[in-house]
A and B are shown apart, each in its own frame.
Chain A
Amino acid sequence: MIALLLSGNDGLLPFDAVIIKWIIALFALVIGLRAALRLRRAEAPEAAEVDRDTAMDRIGAWVQRSAIWLGPIALVFAIAMPFMPFADRRFIDLAILVMTYVMLGWGLNVVVGLAGLLDLGYVAFYAVGAYSYALLALNFGISFWLSLPLAGVLAASAGVILGFPVLRLRGDYLAIVTLGFGEMIRIILINWYALTNGPDGLSGIPRPSFFGLPFTRRPEEGVTSFHQFFDLDYSTLHRIIFLYYLILALALITNFFTLRIRKLPIGRAWEALREDEIACRSLGINPTNTKLTAFGIGAMFAGFAGSFFATRQGFISPESFTFIESALILSIVVLGGMGSQIGVVVAAILLIGMPEWFRDLQQYRMLAFGAGMVGIMVWRPRGLLAHRDPTILLSRFRAKRKASP
């Protein structure tokens, strides 16, 4: 059958794409081998499930332990990436896109992974951030660096506003209301023509400058541009590389913030809230404040990412903020393994990078996406790298105390 599949255009598929056939062949092989193995071993399925879960957890635990050296390596690679020979414009553009989703995934991880609040309308805060920057810059001429915190604050406020009505909801009900909220923001953006220019979107959003040095070939009178200041030949790549470093920095801030806050009382309260809200109340944890801060902080990071998106594109319209984006970000978090920071990176590369890379097969993108998701749910229901390490260890605390009496 494999030979049949691989022998030219045989009418099995409506097009001639060797890679798809290879993938199908590989799947057939794997499924066949697994079936053969199962038949031979004929083991109890429950035991196999437990084995699989522990094996999965081991992989997650291994990655988490290795994060100490894996993280810096990945970081060095990320920093050096734009200067590597394979990094052409298309590649860096793709890296920027992946990084944006990594940042969104890390931001959503606060709400979904830590606080356990299923949020299907996360893109709304992304939109608030993008429009905040666009409107502030176009109407008041406020620079990117000043708009960035403002956009974060505005998005966080939107998060708290969403938080209030959903305080009493959990699980599916919460998901539905957040989904509705996401659509509301999009519909407001379409219909509030006077402010947002409706479906036509906002164009001419100012590009970011390198601490006041614009990335233009011929700057205005009295302004020095980036390439003049550093005495370089003008290249459009400068701006792209700058944008790449900008989103890298923003994403890293998100990451370090989340890693740190997990170890703080508020982070533990989020996790406790995810585990048992009633027990939280009986311990004096204010569930209202705890939930609202989770929504607010998660939304703030989406706001930062949104302003970055606006300045990168130079043009935004409500079309960029549809439900499918929310679903994509949530898929990244779930696929990576809830609460896993490295998992989000892996999942973002898989879900954003791969489809862009295989753009020629665009029409089969959703098909592959769906098949991939089904595969994950069958083989890795808790996500690729789901594993949770305690934030404090008594053994470590005791060792530290012994070291410094």
Chain B
Amino acid sequence: MTAAGEPAGGGAAVHVASQPILTVEHLTMRFGGLVAIDDLSFIAGATEITAIIGPNGAGKTTVFNCLTGFYQPTVGRLTLHLPNRPLYLERMEGFRIAQAGVARTFQNIRLFPGMSVLENLVAAQHVKLMRASLFTIGGLFNLPGYRRAEAEAIEKAEYWLDKVSLVDLADENAGNLPYGAQRRLEIARAMCTDPVLLCLDEPAAGLNPRESAELNELLVFIRDEHRIGLLLIEHDMNVVMGISDHIVVLDYGSKISDGTPEMVRNDPNVIRAYLGDEDEDGDGQGAAGC
């Protein structure tokens, strides 16, 4: 274990313009003898897009799984800075983390395929609606409080459908949507939970250039209009370099660079990880994801 606070290898001071929403300190995740993440520390800003990049198998998705409670980290502290109190995510159950305001999407899309697009978005507002329905009892009798809450939930769903241009497909089964639309729906569904931090696992994977340009616009819109933090795993460098405020580069589970896009682009460590070392014979670790 390296000394406290020392970024492993990157060296550059973490650049955060806004207030932090998430601090990750000494995150380590071991699966038996395999070290998937090794002493990772970084900060994500409250109204910034923070990208986590790195070659395949660098441990990016593992970071997300630790953050959202699917794995319990072996070592480390994950702090979510809510306005009134900090929350320590490393010991919380997944659904409580989501209730606290960390929403996520998945690398291989996880919608509710048998339910309609609108139902997907309303199901995402479960916690709020459950309370409004007085834990089902008020809902059974269709009390006015519940009716109002349901109408509001549908209106919010409508708003996000409009933002991801899926209004015309609202009553369609989610499983029948084309791939790009499913990706957008998953982001809309995550936004319906009113998150403070949105974690996107490869949102541009499988999108064509036009779709990924639209995705960029959507993510920038979410950051600027809804003032929340975004954490992004991405291989598509157009997306990463185009919209990120802050990039963290992982390789073999350790951080090798951390800073603004310009700093990361010129960091010799990053170039070595992606393109191999010039001094050696040049095969390196391959150019995965570039």
Which residues of A are interface residues toward B (Cβ below 8 A)?
A: 257, 260-261, 264-266, 268-269, 271-272, 274-276, 278-287, 388, 390-395, 397, 401
Contact = CB atoms under 8 A, between A and B. Distances in A.
Contacts of B68: 282
Nearest to A276: B110
B154 A282 contact: no
B158 A283 contact: no
Given A261-B136, A265-B136, A283-B123, A271 B114 contact: yes
A286 B92 CA distance: 13
A394 B161 CA distance: 11
A275 B113 contact: yes
B193 interface: yes
Contacts of A286: 95
B257 to A, nearest CB: 29
A374 B161 CA distance: 44
Contacts of A390: 115-116, 118-119, 171
B104 to A, nearest CB: 5
Nearest to B131: A265
B259 interface: no
A397 B154 CA distance: 8
A391 B167 CA distance: 17
Q: What 9 pairs between A and B have smallest CB-CB spacing?
A: A275-B112, A390-B116, A284-B98, A394-B170, A265-B129, A279-B110, A284-B99, A264-B139, A281-B94
Nearest to B99: A284
Contact of A279 (B69, B112, B139): B112
A279 B110 CA distance: 6
23 contacts: A264-B136, A265-B126, A265-B129, A265-B139, A266-B139, A268-B115, A271-B114, A271-B119, A274-B114, A275-B111, A276-B111, A276-B113, A282-B190, A283-B193, A284-B96, A284-B99, A285-B126, A285-B127, A390-B115, A390-B119, A392-B119, A394-B154, A394-B170
A398 to B, nearest CB: 8
A279 B130 contact: no
A279 B193 CA distance: 12
Interface string B18-34: 00000000000000000
B124 A283 contact: yes
B240 interface: no
Interface of B: 68-70, 94-96, 98-99, 103-104, 106, 110-116, 118-119, 122-124, 126-127, 129-130, 133, 135-136, 139-140, 151, 154, 157-158, 161, 167, 170-171, 189-190, 193
A266 B154 CA distance: 16
Given A265-B139, A284-B98, A390-B116, A272 B123 contact: yes
A283 B110 contact: no
Contact of A268 (B70, B98, B119): B119
Contacts of A264: 133, 136, 139-140
B17 to A, nearest CB: 28
Nearest to A279: B110
Given A390-B115, A390-B171, A287 B95 contact: yes
Q: Is the interface of A mostly helix, strand, loop or mixed?
A: helix
Contact of B114 (A257, A260, A285, A388): A388
Nearest to A394: B170
B123 to A, nearest CB: 5
A285 B128 CA distance: 10
A276 B70 CA distance: 14
A287 B69 CA distance: 14
A271 to B, nearest CB: 6
Nearest to B98: A284
B154 A392 contact: yes
B166 to A, nearest CB: 10
A127 to B, nearest CB: 27
A261 B171 contact: no
A395 B126 contact: no
A401 to B, nearest CB: 8
A284 B193 contact: yes
B99 A392 contact: no
A283 B98 contact: yes
Nearest to A400: B151
Contact of B171 (A272, A275, A282, A394): A394
Given A266-B136, A272-B126, 11 more contacts: A265-B130, A266-B135, A268-B115, A278-B110, A281-B98, A285-B127, A287-B95, A392-B116, A393-B171, A394-B118, A394-B154
Nearest to A271: B115
Contacts of B130: 265-266, 269
A276 B112 contact: yes
A135 to B, nearest CB: 29
A281 B69 CA distance: 9
A284 B151 CA distance: 20
A260 B139 CA distance: 9
B114 A275 contact: yes
Given A275-B114, A391-B119, A260 B140 contact: yes
A57 to B, nearest CB: 11
Nearest to B132: A265
Contacts of B154: 392, 394, 397
> Which of A257, A265, A275, A392 has most B Cβ within 10 Å?
A265
Given A278-B110, A279-B106, A279-B110, A285 B95 contact: yes
A276 B189 CA distance: 14
Contacts of B106: 278-279, 282
Contacts of B135: 266
Contacts of B112: 271-272, 275-276, 279
Contacts of A272: 112, 115, 123, 126
Given A265-B139, A392-B154, A282 B113 contact: no
A275 B133 CA distance: 23
Contacts of B133: 264-266
B123 A268 contact: yes
Contacts of B116: 390, 392-393
Contacts of B124: 283
B141 to A, nearest CB: 9
A59 B133 CA distance: 34
A269 B126 contact: yes
Nearest to A285: B126
